[in-house]
Structure 1
């Protein structure tokens, strides 16, 4: 599974020091390449060490998507408006 190399969604419960501590994240919905795992509460959780990987990707039109699995070597998650988005997403 591709590693979440960086995450700028500091308000996410799984983000500590701009790294993802969720075991696996899901990317995408019908509208945009958002991080579906984003959970905005003050309490921090997840794995004790950075562990973030892309478990599933629902962005069927992404260059890196093969059978709903991300094939990028790694991704970056950025903060846009009120969501966290996969900045590695590239429409095919």
Structure 2
């Protein structure tokens, strides 16, 4: 009986550790490609949660930016390419700042 209890405890511990490991990997997402940031908003988002967090933050910012700057219509207003490297247009930083970004 003691062997069974020990085996069950060991199996439960292994299961718990593997589930914890998987959930941490799922939360991390892809790291941001860019390592130098000109904006605090994206730097903070990349530090917090990688590309997934940066996308979430930028979509929220984009909703407000459209109201302030009619030239901003979508992601391609500031990015020449999207995933995985998200290259910026020449005036992306200026548009970001004009829309209230920091």
Q: Which category of TM-score, normalised to the shorter sequence, fits these structures?
A: under 0.3
Higher relative contact order (CA 8 A, sep 6+): 1
**Greater strand content:** 1
Larger Rg: 2
Task: Name the TM-score, length of structure 2 as normaliser.
Answer: 0.26
Q: Which has the higher helix share?
A: 2
TM-score, normalisation: structure 1: 0.28
